[in-house]
């Protein structure tokens, strides 16, 4: 599976808990206001979208919703942190990119689907913000 593989769930959860502690204890009120615990996507919808992108990889970027974004997509909340999944032409294995971690309880998973055949596509967002 290359560099992209499941990681230990306990260690991943420790990283998440550290993020939450630092973010929620910030003295900056804008940081506290933007806190999001995570984003949940419907698996079938995400896989269907991933299968439409023509690039060999994706980039998961963090962003904070703007009033203009919320006006167009009312499910979003102004000032809240979210993730955007962008098509990417970077091939992490070739570019010596970062190790990408995702966690499964058994530390195993299905191999990723084969890469789809321009990174000009809209990013995936509109998941469910937590909390």
Digit-by-digit pLDDT tens for the chain (131 residues) are 455 677 777 888 888 899 999 988 999 998 888 988 888 888 898 999 899 988 888 888 889 999 999 999 888 889 999 888 888 887 665 545 444 444 334 344 444 444 443 445 555 555 544 44
Give the CB-side neighbour count of residue 94, counting CA atoms within 13 A: 5
What is the value of pTM for the model shown? Answer: 0.66
Token representation of residue 126: 């509109």
Residue-range domain boundaries for the chain? 5-130
Token representation of residue 101: 């971690």
Taking every pair of Cα atoms in the chain, the longest distance, rounded to a whole number of angstroms, is 46
In the DSSP assignment, the letter for residue 75 is T
Token representation of residue 81: 């942190």
Residue reference for tokens 């009312």: 74
């Amino acid at each position: 599976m290359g560099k992209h593989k499941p990681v230990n769930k306990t260690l991943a959860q420790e990283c998440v808990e550290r993020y939450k502690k630092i973010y929620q204890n910030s003295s900056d009120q804008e940081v506290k206001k933007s806190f999001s615990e995570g984003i949940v996507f419907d698996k079938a919808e995400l896989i269907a979208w991933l299968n439409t992108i023509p690039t060999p990889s994706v980039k998961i970027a963090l962003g904070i919703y703007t009033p203009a974004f919320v006006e167009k997509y009312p499910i979003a909340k102004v000032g809240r942190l979210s993730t955007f999944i962008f098509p990417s032409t970077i091939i992490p294995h070739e570019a010596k990119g970062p190790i990408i971690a995702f966690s499964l309880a058994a530390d195993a998973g299905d191999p990723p689907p084969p890469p789809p055949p321009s990174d000009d596509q809209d990013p995936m967002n509109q998941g469910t913000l937590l909390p």
